[in-house]
Structure 1
Amino acid sequence: MQLRDVARILEAEVLTCEDKLDLTVEAGCGCDLISDMLAFTKERMIVLTGLVSPQIIRAAEMVDLVAVVFVRGKRPTPDIIELSNELGLPIMCTHYPLYESAGLLFTAGLPGWRHWPRAVGGAKDAP
């Protein structure tokens, strides 16, 4: 699935890096804890989160995520948008809550971590 598909499915507003909407997204993860994001995400994934902080952008860069999607209508502050632009990390906002956002993407064919073959050890390592 391409990042532009994620934006369309979630009726999301793309806030940064619109030139990267052709990037491929291989899986998704929903979380509001940075520790969970670091533990359960891998490169070429997106994270759906209600946590609006610069730390989520820094953590996403560390893991080499494709994008961050803020849910529940939450909007990042100008400093978060600036940081995201500096790092070249697409961010978007959707009005859907986390659970519905994940469900919409999963139904459209985007696997979660447990179903992603590139996960370390496959599904057996998932909690």
Structure 2
Amino acid sequence: MTIKEIKEALKARFICGEELQHRQVHCACGSDMMSDVLAFMKDRAVLLTGLCNPQVIRTAEMMDVVCIVFVRGKIPDETMIEMAKEREIALLSTGHRMFSACGILYEKGLRGGGPYHE
């Protein structure tokens, strides 16, 4: 799935990174807890979150996240947008809630990886 396909499926809008819309995304993670993201993330992922602080961008960079979708209409501030631009991470915003957004992407074939085991 591409970032453009994610945007269309979620009826989202680009905040930045529209030039990255043809990048492939291999899996997804939905979380507001960056510690869970660090435990989960795989290669070339999309992160769905309602958390709007610079730690989200820093975590995304470490985990090879190519796109962040802010749910519930959240919009990051200019500092976060600049951080994402510097790191070539696309930012989107959707009005969907986290559960719905994850479900839509799952329905379209995007998966989150295997089950979590402690």
The answer, yes or no, to whether TM exceeds 0.5 is: yes
**Distance of 1:16 and 1:8 partners within structure 2:** 15
For 1:28, the equivalent position in structure 2 comes to: 28
Root-mean-square deviation (Å)? 0.9
- Answering whether residue 105 of structure 2 is matched by residue 105 of structure 1, we say yes
Bigger strand fraction: 2
For structure 2, the residue ranges without an aligned partner over 5 or more in a row are: none
Question: Where does residue 39 of structure 1 map in the other structure?
Answer: 39
Q: Partners of 1:17 and 1:31 in 2: how far apart?
A: 21
- Percent identical pairs in the alignment equals 38
Does structure 2 conserve the Cα–Cα contact (< 8 Å) formed by 1:43 and 1:66?
A: no
Letter in 2 for 1:22: H
Q: Give the letter aligned to residue 32 of structure 1.
A: D
Distance in 2 separating the partners of 1:7 and 1:95: 12
Instruction: Give how far 1:113 is off.
Output: 2.2
Q: Tell me which residue corresponds to 1:3.
A: 3
The C-alpha deviation readout for 1:70-125, integer Å capped at 9, x for no partner, is 001111011111111111111110000000000000001111222xxxxxxxx4xx
Using the alignment, how far apart are the partners of 1:78 and 1:19 within structure 2? 18
Superposed CA offset, 1:23-77 (max 9, x none) = 1111111000010011101221111000101110011001111111100111101
Following superposition, which runs of at least 4 residues in structure 1 exceed 4 angstroms of deviation?
none
| C-alpha contact (below 8 Å) 1:52/1:76 kept by paired residues | yes
Partner SS state of residue 105, structure 1: helix
Query: Residue type of the partner of 1:48?
Result: L
Equivalent residue, structure 2, for 1:67: 67
Larger radius of gyration: 1
Unaligned 5+ segments in structure 1 are 115-122
Note if 1:78 corresponds to 2:78.
Answer: yes
